[in-house]
Each structure stands twice: as structure tokens, then as C-alpha cells.
Amino acid sequence: MKPIEVKNELLSEKYFYMKHPSGLNIYVYPKEEYSSTYAIFGTKFGSINNKFKMISGDIKEVPDGIAHYLEHKLFEGKDTDAFSEYAKTGASANAFTSFDKTAYLFSCTDNFEESLKILLNFVQSPYFTEETVKKEQGIIGQEIKMYEDSPEWNVLFNLLNAMYHNHPVKTDIAGTVESIAKITPELLYDCYENFYSLNNMSLCIAGNVDSEKIFQIIDQDLKFRTSKNFKSESIFPEEPREVVKKYVSKNFEIASPIFNFGFKEDITNIEVNSEYLAYIDVILYSIASKSSRMYEKLLNEELINTSSFSYEYFHGPNYASIIFSGESKDPKKVSEIITEEIKSLHKSGLDKTMFEISKKSLYGQNISIFNSMPSIANILLDFSFSNRKFFDYITNISKANIDNANKIFDKILNPEYTSLSVVNPL
């Protein structure tokens, strides 16, 4: 089976894609003019996937934080650990668990093929025992306490708990000390068998590589399993449209208050495809970027600073919201000004001039990602898991029109469904 070449003539960019017989999605993005190479191997298993249908058909509910725990344990094999192996090739390796995925990655300038084999081998070779699992509880317990002491972490999860009644997105990615104490080798193997099926995974590589040779190595080192055609199926609870609380606060030893202000989106009949995501990003740039009227007002009234104010479209399976965040002497006043601006734009529509400026600015920013190997590979992974096409997103930014944007704007930013989370100085 040969890989498919995916090209964008306008951008003069291309990559190769293959749906491997094992079920694995493989993306190779050759950039011969660059010296470094980056690879990321991910699965659609994150902190929110704590209830799912097993291969047997039974419904399984697992402790919070198990996806993150499994990420830690995969690095440790029966006879060695992955970091020791990477030390021999000189690659820089890491991993992360988010709300909806776990990913293992490395970057290097030499010995790429050897490093790739290490990646493929340890991710496909789980080894869990009672002794090693219990040993990890203390390590991850310390990590959990570190997050508990982070004001930035608290302001986000306080917001998510204020917005979401039932969805597991409100639960800390690492779980709690109590929840991880319930994790056993058997539970880890259950999660691995369900979510680390190659049909549920993607491998993305960007950099100075010979794509033909890379596909040969992958083909040799993939391990076919009986569950290769199984697709994991997570079960999420019903989530009301309304938020839980409009306001929540906490005190920390910090110099100035920080805030997260969220607009909860109604995800009914919404598919966050390449076109929809492009519209969201152009809309948010129009209303909240440093060129926007709202940003200028907040800055002139000294309610925000240039280094901390930000916004994002926070979304995943069965949840979506828009979050504004930053540092401010008066977070409630910031939320009021943002709300006033949103209400005003609902009446008048988005500013046409600002909308066109936003399209051009975002298009330029996205073109710059082709100079970053990690950005290319990470976006390929994200888009693979959400059924989006890599080049389509950039094309849709340039094609966005203001009439469609106003229709989407009216749906996503509803002032009735907001929560404000604040962390105040002691």
C-alpha cells in the first residue's frame, strides 16, 4: 500500500498520508531544508475518557487521572526505560496527557531512525506490575500537589467546575491522590487494550526525513494486535445548557488577581470541522486581538496588561467554550466590558474592516507554522483526531465571509451562559 501525497499548490507545501493496514494513521511531512526532525505518536485517550465501552461490550468506569498515569508507566519497560534508550541516540523526548489525548514525542538532529524505533517500541510494549504501579503513586501524587498549588491551574479548573455540571472536562487531568490510589495493573491494561489500539492512534513526523524509508521502518516496527479494528467508544453524561455558577473565587499568595471568563457553547448539532474552526478563530481575532476595539478599551482603562490577556476556543468531545483570561485589578469589570462588547456586536454585527484585517493577520500567522516542525506535527495530530484536513483550515480562513461569521457569532457567544473564575491575592 502506497502513501497518498497531499499537496497545496498555493502554499507550495505537501505531506504524505497513509492509513496503515494495522489501522494507524501516518503523516510524514518532509522538510529537507531543515536540520531537525520531530515525531509525535498519539492516542485519543485523555482525562475525559473515564467511562467507555470495552472490546467485550461491557461498560467500564475507571479512576480519574488514569490516562495520565498510563502515560507515565509506558516509559518504563520490563528491562529498561525509554529515556535511557533515547539518551543513546541523543534525542530529546517527552510526553503529555490532555483532556482528550495522550501523546509521546521526540525531536532530534541525528539518529532519527533509531529514535523512531524506540518510540514505536515502547508505546507498543506495556509492562505493568503491582510494584511499579504503586511506586508511581508517590511520584504522581507530588505532581498533583504541585498543580494544587498553582493559581493558574486553579483559576481554570474552578471555571470548568463553574460551567460544567457533569462533563468530566471539569476534573483535573492528573486526578486526585485518592483517585490514583485506586489504579491497578489490570485497569491500566484494560485502558491500554481499548485506547491504544492502532486504529485509535496517529503518528505524525515533520522534518528532514526520507518519507519512503520512514514508511518502511514504520511498517516493520508496528505490532499487529487482535483489536486492530476496534474503535474506542467513550460515554459522556448529559450536560445541561446552563452553567453551574456565574462566579467563583479563591485566594492565593499572588501579587494581582487573575481571571478566566468563559462563555459556554451549545454543542448540539455542532461539528468543529476545518471551516467552523477557521470562522471561530477569525471571529475571536476580530473582537479580542490587540487590534480590536475591546482590547483597546480594556487597556486604556488599565484593566488588563499586554503580557497576560489572552483568549482561546476551548473544545473537545461533547464540550466547547470560549475563554478570556489574564491578570487584572478588577476582573468583574473586565467581564462586564467583554459582555457589553458581545451584546453590542450581536446588534450591529462584526465590523467589516476588522474582519478583513483579522483574516489577513491569521492567514499570515498560520503560514509561519511551516517553519516549525513541532507545530506542523502537533497540528497534524490534532486535526487527525478531529477529522479535519490540514490545508483546508488555512484555505477556509482566506475564504471566510462576514455573513456566515455573524451567524456563527450569534450562536457561540451568548452572555446568558457565562462564568467568571477569579483567584485573588490573600
Distance CA 173, CA 65 (A): 6
> Taking the CA of residue 62 as centre, how many other CA atoms within 13 Å lie in the half-sphere pointing to its CB?
34
Q: Cα angle vertex 38, ends 320, 380, to 5°?
A: 35
Cβ proximity of 8 and 185 under 8 Å: no
Cβ proximity of 36 and 371 under 8 Å: no
Q: Pairing relation of β-strands 92-97 and 59-61?
A: unpaired
Non-local (6+) Cβ contacts of 373 within 8 A are 31, 34, 36, 37, 38, 107, 206, 207
CA distance to 302, 308, 424, per residue, from 299 (Å): 5, 12, 20
Q: Grid coordinates standing for 349?
A: 454585527
Q: One of 32, 71, 178, 356 is an active-site residue; which one?
A: 71
Q: What is the DSSP code string of 279-325?
A: HHHHHHHHHHSTTSHHHHHHHHTTSS-TTT-EEEEEEETTEEEEEEE
Side chain identity at residue 391, one-letter code? F
Distance CA 241, CA 20 (A): 40
Question: Which run of H or of E encompasses 92?
Answer: strand 92-97
Exposure string for 126-141, b = 16+ CB within 10 A, e = fewer: bebeeeebeebeeebb
Distance CA 275, CA 394 (A): 9
Alpha-helical (H) ranges within 149-270 are 151-163, 177-180, 185-195, 211-221
71 assigned to active site:
yes
Just list the catalytic residues. Answer: 71
